[in-house]
């Protein structure tokens, strides 16, 4: 079998797949909040895989979906039916993991890959079972014991398929179809500046719950300084009037409420002596939720975040977000980050920088990341992959992006560290885009009225004045709907030389806080030269020096998240000997080596920590 068998031209495939968005008929999974604290059976480890570049397992030769999903792990049997695959004889890949960085021949592969896992299970009376997938990039179809369980679209949010009635006692097997083909109507769409890592990129497990169980809840400190905690708990299949108890033992709090006809129990109670979560004091409280036969535990921090004019207030006090952006790229080994170690390394470097804030770009990162940010006291900007050129006038694309946004919010709504939801990055200023994003912003505010909504905007540059001063103006109409303005700028890299920053002034049409959500430049670690020589560490450090001087002049600047903490893989970066498929704008190389600019930013953040602006 020729090794290049797997890198088929995707033209034929793309045509076939264009029809492959999730149809209404597909089985929609749920999303169990606090899944990582529930009793579960891990299915991580080796899974048999079949690489299926022609989507042969899903479509017949007329490219019609096979009636019952071909690769359902039917064993060649006496029926004499022709079976042309056999998972048990197929190679394996590790889960969690992306196929690109695990097998060289799949490095560039975009398409369909089938995963299969055999496992033992004993059903328990009165117990429901869900197949939990932390994330699968990008489109998934799930079967258990040959029967369809669910479908999911979106590569960076979890989903839970109920499999109670599909499981048997003893031998069971799961088959998961994952396709990461980029599509014009998807989110993200065809063009991105990150590697399209495909596969079951986060944990897979079986989660057990009682018949009636808690699938979602929200507890947050109410704005206005009253010290009261408000929230709700949703109990699935609970008759109205079902009692729900919430306990915060450390505060001697035990509150009781009952579900309404929709299974929702509302809470509002005073919490004396509550310590507010903040970067300086990332206090988390054990919270217990008891409803029906269900008993959930979570670790929740309580804080308020709001805006006041062009200021951001954390717990009612002005806060400056000393940040850095990062991709979910695994340090040292590259590939999609997922482990506790990956999170500790990346947030450890951010902490070392003196950061109290990270922008998790451009999609929701592993839940371990936001859990760790909760514990380390690092505020988080979390974003959906509405990036560059989305099909703004396509209702299916809006529904897809809305679903990803809602899943992102649902998974992390009880994470105190998450202070900002971002609905977009560098999107064109058109009426269709404005309507699309306005809809997402409304959804975010409705699903979570306790946090701020932002987006990374592009800004216009006014022509130079006779004195050589040029002005950046934030006047994107989207700014009207955002709580916090984000702006990406690359003065000194895509725009002129580093010293141009010293002749740049900033204005905003809005009396709102600004976060410079990206700035920076590429440097290959160890490449040295004059500060005027691109790609050298000296040039990158000079960009940072000039940027910091410029940013200090912006009165409504309330934070920054330079691009980027660590070099990351990108198919758009091919400069031999320097990029080699890495975007080199990291302050740290992908092998953990700190570049000179790391020290420049660290020094600035240290000064800000002692003299906040
Ligand atoms: C853009 C974009 C990033 C990209 C960066 C770059 O602004 O948001 O995703 O990686 O610029 O060009 O390095």
Q: Say yes or no to pLDDT of 63 above 70.
A: yes
Report CA(583)–ligand 1 centroid distance (Å): 9
* pLDDT band (50, 70, 90) for residue 85: confident
Q: Supply the pLDDT for residue 20.
A: 47
* pLDDT band (50, 70, 90) for residue 74: low
Report CA(196)–ligand 1 centroid distance (Å): 15
122-163 pLDDT tens trace: 999 999 999 999 999 999 999 999 999 999 999 999 999 999
* Nearest Cα to Cα of residue 316 among 335, 303, 300: 303
Q: Supply the pLDDT for residue 168.
A: 98
What is the number of alpha carbons within 13 Å of residue 49 lying toward its C-beta? 25
Q: Is 499 exposed, middle or buried (0-12, 13-18, 19+ CB in 10 A)?
A: middle
Which contiguous run of DSSP H or E holds residue 244? Answer: strand 243-248
Per-chain mean pLDDT for the chain: 94
Q: Supply the pLDDT for residue 9.
A: 43
Q: 142 is written with which tokens?
A: 């799930």
Say if CB 479 and CB 510 are below 8 A apart: yes
- Quote the CA–CA distance of 242 and 264 in Å, as a whole number: 9
Q: Supply the pLDDT for residue 610.
A: 86
Q: Say yes or no to pLDDT of 42 above 70.
A: yes
Which contiguous run of DSSP H or E holds residue 423? Answer: strand 418-425
Report CA(490)–ligand 1 centroid distance (Å): 9
- Quote the CA–CA distance of 361 and 199 in Å, as a whole number: 19
- Quote the CA–CA distance of 506 and 495 in Å, as a whole number: 15
Kindly provide the b/e burial profile for residues 138-164, where b requires at least 16 CB atoms within 10 angstroms of the residue's own CB.
bbbbbbbbeebbbbbbbbbbbbbbbbe
Mutating to test ligand 1, I would choose from 361, 491, 517, 518 the residue with most ligand atoms within 8 A of its C-beta, which is 518
336-389 pLDDT tens trace: 999 999 999 999 999 999 999 999 999 999 999 999 999 999 999 999 999 999
- Quote the CA–CA distance of 346 and 358 in Å, as a whole number: 10
β-strands 504-508, 470-474 pairing: parallel
Say if CB 421 and CB 453 are below 8 A apart: yes
- Quote the CA–CA distance of 236 and 306 in Å, as a whole number: 32
* pLDDT band (50, 70, 90) for residue 61: confident
Report CA(78)–ligand 1 centroid distance (Å): 56
* Nearest Cα to Cα of residue 385 among 177, 227, 161, 180: 180
Mutating to test ligand 1, I would choose from 191, 193, 387, 494 the residue with most ligand atoms within 8 A of its C-beta, which is 193
Nearest CA, atom 7, ligand 1: 488
Nearest CA, atom 3, ligand 1: 193
| Closest atom of ligand 1 relative to the 518 alpha carbon | 7
477-534 pLDDT tens trace: 999 999 999 999 999 999 999 999 999 999 999 999 999 999 999 999 999 999 999 9
Q: Supply the pLDDT for residue 76.
A: 54
186-229 pLDDT tens trace: 999 999 999 999 999 999 999 999 999 999 999 999 998 889 99
Report CA(252)–ligand 1 centroid distance (Å): 48
292-317 pLDDT tens trace: 899 999 999 999 999 999 999 999 99
Report CA(370)–ligand 1 centroid distance (Å): 22
Q: Say yes or no to pLDDT of 286 above 70.
A: yes
Report CA(18)–ligand 1 centroid distance (Å): 27
Q: Say yes or no to pLDDT of 78 above 60.
A: no
Report CA(193)–ligand 1 centroid distance (Å): 6
Report CA(331)–ligand 1 centroid distance (Å): 19
Mean pLDDT of 538-553: 98
DSSP string, 440-484: HHHHHHHH-TTSEEEEEE--EEEPPPTTS-EEEEE--GGGGG-SE
Q: 411 is written with which tokens?
A: 């998974």
Q: Supply the pLDDT for residue 284.
A: 98
| Closest atom of ligand 1 relative to the 522 alpha carbon | 13
Report CA(170)–ligand 1 centroid distance (Å): 49
| Residue 89 φ then ψ, to 5° | -100, 0
Report CA(185)–ligand 1 centroid distance (Å): 21
Q: Say yes or no to pLDDT of 10 above 90.
A: no
- Quote the CA–CA distance of 288 and 249 in Å, as a whole number: 8
Mutating to test ligand 1, I would choose from 327, 362, 583 the residue with most ligand atoms within 8 A of its C-beta, which is 583
Written in H, E and C, the secondary structure of 103-133 is CHHHCCCCCEEEEEEEEEECCCCCEEEEEEE
Q: 63 is written with which tokens?
A: 């490219």
The verdict on whether omega for the bond into residue 362 sits within 30 degrees of 0, i.e. cis, is: yes
Q: Say yes or no to pLDDT of 181 above 60.
A: yes
Nearest CA, atom 9, ligand 1: 193
* Nearest Cα to Cα of residue 175 among 206, 144, 205: 144
Nearest 5°: the CA angle 139, 347, 301 is 85
Q: Supply the pLDDT for residue 14.
A: 44
| Closest atom of ligand 1 relative to the 426 alpha carbon | 8
Nearest CA, atom 4, ligand 1: 193
Q: Supply the pLDDT for residue 228.
A: 96
Report CA(516)–ligand 1 centroid distance (Å): 13
β-strands 568-569, 582-583 pairing: antiparallel
β-strands 557-560, 514-518 pairing: parallel
Q: Supply the pLDDT for residue 13.
A: 43
Mean pLDDT of 533-547: 98
| Closest atom of ligand 1 relative to the 585 alpha carbon | 13
Q: Supply the pLDDT for residue 6.
A: 40
- Compute and round to an integer the Cα radius of gyration of the chain: 25
- β-bridge partners, 50: 114
Fill in the DSSP letter of residue 274: P
Helices (H), 129-267: none
| Closest atom of ligand 1 relative to the 425 alpha carbon | 8
Q: Supply the pLDDT for residue 612.
A: 81
3-state secondary structure of 174: strand
* pLDDT band (50, 70, 90) for residue 26: low
Name all residues whose Cβ lies below 6 A of ligand 1.
Answer: 193, 362, 425-426, 488, 518, 563, 583, 585
* pLDDT band (50, 70, 90) for residue 243: very high
410-435 pLDDT tens trace: 999 999 999 999 999 999 999 999 99
Q: Supply the pLDDT for residue 69.
A: 59
Q: Supply the pLDDT for residue 65.
A: 83
Mutating to test ligand 1, I would choose from 428, 455, 543, 563 the residue with most ligand atoms within 8 A of its C-beta, which is 563
The verdict on whether omega for the bond into residue 243 sits within 30 degrees of 0, i.e. cis, is: no
* pLDDT band (50, 70, 90) for residue 231: very high
Q: Is 369 exposed, middle or buried (0-12, 13-18, 19+ CB in 10 A)?
A: buried
């Amino acid at each position: 079998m020729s090794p290049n068998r797997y890198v088929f031209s995707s033209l034929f495939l793309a045509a076939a797949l264009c029809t492959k968005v999730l149809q209404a008929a597909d089985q929609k999974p749920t999303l169990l909040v606090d899944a990582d604290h529930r009793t579960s059976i891990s299915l991580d480890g080796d899974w048999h895989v079949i690489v299926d570049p022609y989507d042969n397992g899903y479509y017949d030769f007329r490219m019609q979906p096979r009636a019952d999903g071909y690769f359902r792990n039917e064993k060649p049997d006496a029926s004499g039916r022709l079976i042309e695959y056999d998972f048990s004889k197929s190679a394996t890949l590790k889960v969690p993991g992306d196929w690109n960085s695990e097998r060289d021949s799949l490095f560039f592969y975009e398409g369909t890959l089938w995963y299969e896992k055999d496992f033992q299970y004993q059903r328990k009376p009165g117990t429901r079972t869900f197949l939990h997938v932390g994330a699968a990039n990008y489109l998934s179809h799930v079967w258990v014991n040959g029967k369809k369980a669910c479908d999911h679209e979106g590569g960076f949010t979890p989903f839970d398929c109920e499999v109670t009635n599909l499981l048997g006692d003893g031998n069971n097997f799961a088959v998961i179809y994952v396709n990461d083909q980029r599509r014009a109507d998807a989110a993200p769409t065809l063009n991105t500046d990150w590697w399209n890592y495909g596969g079951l990129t986060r944990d897979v497990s079986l989660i057990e719950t009682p018949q009636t169980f808690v699938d979602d809840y929200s507890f947050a400190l109410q704005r206005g300084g009253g010290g009261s905690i408000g929230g709700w708990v949703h109990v699935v299949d609970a008759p109205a009037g079902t009692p729900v108890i919430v306990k915060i033992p450390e505060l001697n709090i035990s509150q009781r409420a009952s579900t309404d006809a929709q299974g929702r129990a509302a809470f509002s109670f005073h919490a004396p002596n509550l310590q507010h979560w903040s970067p300086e004091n990332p206090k988390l409280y054990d919270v217990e939720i008891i409803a029906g036969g269900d008993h959930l535990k979570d670790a929740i921090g309580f804080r308020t975040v709001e805006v006041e004019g062009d200021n951001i207030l954390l717990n009612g006090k002005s806060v400056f977000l000393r940040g850095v952006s990062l991709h979910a790229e695994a340090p040292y080994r590259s590939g999609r980050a997922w482990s506790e170690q990956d999170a500790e390394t990346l947030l450890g470097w951010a902490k070392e920088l003196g950061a109290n804030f990270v922008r998790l770009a451009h999609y929701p990162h592993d839940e371990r990341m936001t859990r760790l940010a909760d514990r380390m006291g690092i505020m988080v900007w979390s974003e959906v992959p509405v990036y560059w050129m989305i099909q703004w006038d396509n209702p299916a694309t809006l529904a897809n992006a809305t679903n990803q946004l809602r899943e992102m919010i649902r998974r992390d709504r009880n994470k105190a560290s998450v202070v900002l939801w971002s609905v977009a990055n560098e999107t064109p200023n058109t009426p269709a885009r404005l309507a699309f994003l306005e809809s997402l912003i409304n959804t975010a505010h409705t699903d979570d009225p306790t946090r701020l909504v932002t987006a990374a905007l592009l800004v216009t540059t006014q022509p130079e004045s006779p004195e050589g001063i040029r002005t950046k103006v934030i006047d994107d109409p989207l700014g009207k709907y955002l709580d916090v303005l984000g702006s990406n700028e690359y003065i000194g890299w895509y725009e002129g030389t580093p010293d141009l920053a010293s002749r740049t002034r900033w204005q905003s049409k809005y009396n709102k806080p600004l976060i410079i959500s990206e700035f920076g430049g590429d440097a290959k670690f160890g490449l040295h030269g004059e500060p005027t020589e691109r790609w050298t560490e000296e040039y990158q450090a000079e960009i940072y020096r000039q940027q910091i001087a410029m940013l200090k002049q912006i009165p409504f600047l309330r934070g920054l998240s330079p691009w980027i903490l660590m070099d990351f893989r990108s198919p758009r970066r091919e400069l031999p000997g320097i990029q080699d498929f890495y975007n080199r704008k990291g302050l740290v190389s992908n092998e953990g080596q700190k570049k000179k600019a790391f020290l420049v930013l660290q020094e600035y953040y240290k000064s800000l920590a002692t003299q906040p602006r």
